[in-house]
Amino acid sequence: MSARRFEGQAVIVTGAAQGIGRGVALALAREGAQLVLADRAALVEEVAAEVQALGAMAVIARSDLETWAGAAQLNEIAVAAYGRVDVLVNNVGGTIWVQPYQEYTPEQVEAEIRRSLFPTMWCCRAVLPQMVARKQGVIVNVSSVATRGIYRIPYSAAKGGVNAMTASLAMEHAQDGIRVNAVATGGTEAPPRRIPRNAQPLNAQEQQWYQGIVDQTVASSLMHRYGSIDEQVNAILFLASSESSYITGTVLPVGGGDQG
C-alpha cells in the first residue's frame, strides 16, 4: 500500500474543524493531498495550520453548507485553488438533540434534516458538473449506523437519505467515471467538541436519554465498544483512494459489527 495515495489530488473535506473531519484532513495531508477545509467554525484555521505543518497545501472555506449558495461557494474556492476537485468527503452532520421523537418540535426536526442531509446533497450537486466534465471523481459520504437507533429519529432519517443518495448517485454516474460510496460510522470516541452542536447543557432527563443512546450503541456493536477516530478515518480514506477502484454504491458500516 502506498503511503502517498493522494499525491497531488485536490480533496474537499467538509466539517474539517473537529472530530472525524479533522482526522481525515490530517491523514490526507500526510498522504500528499491538496486540501480544501470547509467548516463554519473558526477552529478550521487551526486545522489548516496543522495541515501546512505537515507540508501539505490547504485553503479554507468558511461556507454554510446547509445552503446551496454555500456549497456552490465551496466548489468555486476549490476550483480557484486547484483547478478541479478529485475527491469530496462529505462529513458535515451530527444529531443536535437527543430525545424520543414525540418530544421534537417541528423546528427541531427541520433543523436536524438541514444539518445532516442538506450539506451532503448540496455539496454533491456543486462538484458533480466538473467531475462529469472530466470523467473522473470520487465522493465519500459520511453516514451513520444510527439509521437503526433510538432518540434521534430525524438524524436517522437524514442519514438514511444520505445512504439512498449514495446508491443512486453511484448508479447515475458510474458511466461518468465517478465513484460514490459512504462510510456508516458507529459510536466513535472523540475529544469533547470545542463547539457543541447544542449549546444548551443537558438536563437530567436528557442525560438519561443520552445514556440510552450510549447503551444501545454499545449493545448493537458485536465488539461492544466504541470505535476510534482513526478506525473511521482508515475506512474513509480507503473508499476515497484508488485501492477501492472497483467499489461504488456501497455503504460500509464501521460500527464493530453493527450494520445500521
Question: Is residue 253 helix, strand or coil?
Answer: strand
Q: Report residue 188: phi and psi, to 5°.
A: -130, 125
Instruction: Give the pLDDT of residue 2.
Output: 53
Report the relative pairing of strands 10-14 and 34-38 from DSSP bridges: parallel
pTM of the model: 0.96
pLDDT, mean of residues 38-52:
97
Q: Is 155 a catalytic residue?
A: yes
Q: Which tens digits make up the pLDDT trace of 148-161?
A: 999 999 999 999 99
pLDDT at residue 1 is higher than 50: no
Q: Which of 101, 155, 210, 246 does the annotation list as catalytic?
A: 155
What's the CA gap between 194 and 187, in Å, rounded?
18
pLDDT, mean of residues 182-208:
88
pLDDT at residue 195 is higher than 80: no
Kindly state the cell numbers that stand for 155.
Answer: 438524524
Domain at 10-189+200-254, CATH class: alpha beta
Close Cβ partners of 207 (under 8 Å, ≥ 6 residues apart): none
pLDDT band at 196 (very low <50, low <70, confident <90, very high): confident
Ranges of each domain in the chain: 10-189+200-254
Q: Which tens digits make up the pLDDT trace of 57-105?
A: 999 999 999 999 999 999 999 999 999 999 999 999 999 999 999 999 9
